[in-house]
Amino acid sequence: MNSPLTSPLNADLHYSNPFNPTELRAGALDCLIQTESAMKVAGIQALASEWHAGRLVLRSSAALSSDAATIPGRPARPELVSPLLVKHRSMRTEEGRATMIHALAHIEFNAINLALDVIWRFPDMPEAFYVDWLLVASEEAYHFSLLAAHLQVLGYAYGDFPAHNSLWDMAEKTRSDILARIALVPRTMEARGLDAAPPVRNKLAQAGDQAAAEILDIIMRDEIGHVAIGNRWYGWLCKQRDLDPIATFANLSVEFKAPVMRGPFNMKARRAAGFTDEELALME
């Protein structure tokens, strides 16, 4: 994994630390409820830095709680609307490209919150589980920062366009079951990005926005790893509960009304992210 500070895009990711965490899961909750996007990014940076410096403890069995109304912390804008009301504009125009970059930034902002939510909400998992999702949160924060900075280059800011909330809606549905959360968010909703990102990247490049295309390359590289983390922990949970992974996934998809997966699928990326040959065959 490349460090954000060595990115060829040279994004400025330095913010002052907004808090001084002492415990990993509680610190993740503090970041989650932060409403200001730059401060949320700074909080994640501080959390990751303190953890890797050995200055944080992990209380995996602690029963944490929070006011549901504060989760997730998000700024007053963008306005959240039905997915049917999110307009699609031609990427031949600068506003159209900004709309697409904004939509991607919103996905990454939700992905930050999803990773933080997994860390604090679900106790009694191995330490490696929380460390994996801390990595995901850190990389999603990096992606968001790159996209938000590029929006500014185009003359816009995060919040300037309406956005939908379907990714977080699935998190709400699965807040009481870690198996369902891992099955239906990273392995389903976020895995769709593996299919969708390459065509979007190509359209941005064809429109002459090479900087945006390079950002999508970084996101795609990291998202394969994020989906792989989801696949690894889904398999671990199924083994712990003595469940068949494929049958269980099908049952959870029906129970929680997950979106039906439709092709075309990026089989190469999905295989790299840990989907099995049997799962890929069922998609085809």
- Tens of pLDDT, residue by residue over 224-275, are 999 999 999 999 999 999 999 999 999 999 999 998 888 899 999 999 999 9
Tell me the whole-structure pTM to 2 decimals: 0.91
Domains and their CATH numbers in the chain: 92-283 (1.20.1260)
Let me know if 210 is exposed, middle or buried by CB neighbors in 10 A (0-12, 13-18, 19+).
exposed
Q: Read off φ and ψ for residue 245, nearest 5 degrees.
A: -60, -40
Q: Which uninterrupted H or E stretch holds 224?
A: helix 210-240
pLDDT tens-place string over residues 139-192: 999 999 999 999 999 999 999 999 988 889 999 999 999 999 999 999 999 999
- The residue whose two tokens read 């671990």 is 236
